[in-house]
């Protein structure tokens, strides 16, 4: 399923009507996550797993004015995302780079949002804890029942500081972790 959606994104980014519809699907998700992490224009948001349609980055910039650094390990998705943002003149405050967030040194950020399809969530959270200072906010989209194996999830002993319900088929909660 992850490969299917990655392919859909690579097609959607080429045609504005498809891009627009795909982008709009996540507006309420982002509204909830912005509220959950209290994201403001003063934040630098690290978006890990941005894909070819960087809707998380776009919504954050549009709704808060924050700067976003978006990572994806798929080089083709990164190039398509850059082209997409440039084509639709939406690149303001968004930097898109190749990376997976687990093995490399991370840029400075105050908030991180981890895409659902990032499978090694526990390793990701541990790397984020090493990289950042106290008070950094991290959001993980947790898969709905039946999607855990496909998308991976944080183990039960990782207890979020807060969570919010989402009305999505593949994930029904976003979890907030504060780095202490």
What is the pLDDT, as a whole number, of residue 143?
92
CB within 8 Å of 73: residues ≥ 6 apart: 98, 99, 100
What is the pLDDT, as a whole number, of residue 134?
73
The yes-or-no verdict on residue 2 having pLDDT over 60 is no
Share of the chain above pLDDT 70, in %: 87
Mean pLDDT throughout 21-43? Answer: 90
Residue in the block written with tokens 């507006």: 27
CA distance 101 to 92: 22
* Of 82, 83, 33, the residue nearest 60 (C-alpha): 33
What is the pLDDT, as a whole number, of residue 85?
83
Q: What is the pTM of this model?
A: 0.88
What is the pLDDT, as a whole number, of residue 112?
96
Going by pLDDT thresholds of 50, 70 and 90, the confidence category of residue 5 is low
* Of 60, 127, 128, 135, the residue nearest 90 (C-alpha): 60
User: Hey, how many other C-beta atoms are within 10 angstroms of the C-beta on 92?
Assistant: 10
CB 11 within 8 A of CB 18: yes
CA distance 103 to 120: 11
Mean pLDDT throughout 51-75? Answer: 92
Q: Is 174 helix (H, G, I), strand (E, B) or coil?
A: strand
Higher pLDDT, 15 or 46: 46
**Domains in the chain, CATH or no CATH each:** 2-178 (3.40.50.150)
The yes-or-no verdict on residue 92 having pLDDT over 90 is no
Mean pLDDT throughout 82-92? Answer: 81
Going by pLDDT thresholds of 50, 70 and 90, the confidence category of residue 44 is very high
Average pLDDT of the chain to the nearest whole number: 86
List, for residues 108-162, the tens digit of each pLDDT value. Answer: 899 999 999 888 899 989 888 887 777 899 999 999 999 888 888 898 899 999 9
Furthest-apart CA atoms within the chain: distance in Å: 44
The yes-or-no verdict on residue 4 having pLDDT over 70 is no
Residue in the block written with tokens 């919010």: 164
- Phi and psi of 78, rounded to 5°? -65, -45
CA distance 56 to 68: 9
Mean pLDDT throughout 30-37? Answer: 97
């Amino acid at each position: 399923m992850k490969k299917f959606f990655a392919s859909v994104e690579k097609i959607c980014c080429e045609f504005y009507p498809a891009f627009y519809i795909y982008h709009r699907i996540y507006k309420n998700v982002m509204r909830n996550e912005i509220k959950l992490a209290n994201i403001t224009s003063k934040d630098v948001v690290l978006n890990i797993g941005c894909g070819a349609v960087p809707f998380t980055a776009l919504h954050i910039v549009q709704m808060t004015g924050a700067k976003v650094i978006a990572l994806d390990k798929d080089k083709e998705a990164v190039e398509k995302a850059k082209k997409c943002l440039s084509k639709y003149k939406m690149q303001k405050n968004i930097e898109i780079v190749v990376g997976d967030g687990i093995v490399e040194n991370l840029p400075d950020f105050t908030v991180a949002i981890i895409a659902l399809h990032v499978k090694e969530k526990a390793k990701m959270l541990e790397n984020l804890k090493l990289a950042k200072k106290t008070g950094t906010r991290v959001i993980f989209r947790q898969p709905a029942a039946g999607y855990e194996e496909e998308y991976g999830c944080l183990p039960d002993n990782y207890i979020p500081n807060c969570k919010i319900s989402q009305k999505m088929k593949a994930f029904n909660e976003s979890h907030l972790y504060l780095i202490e």
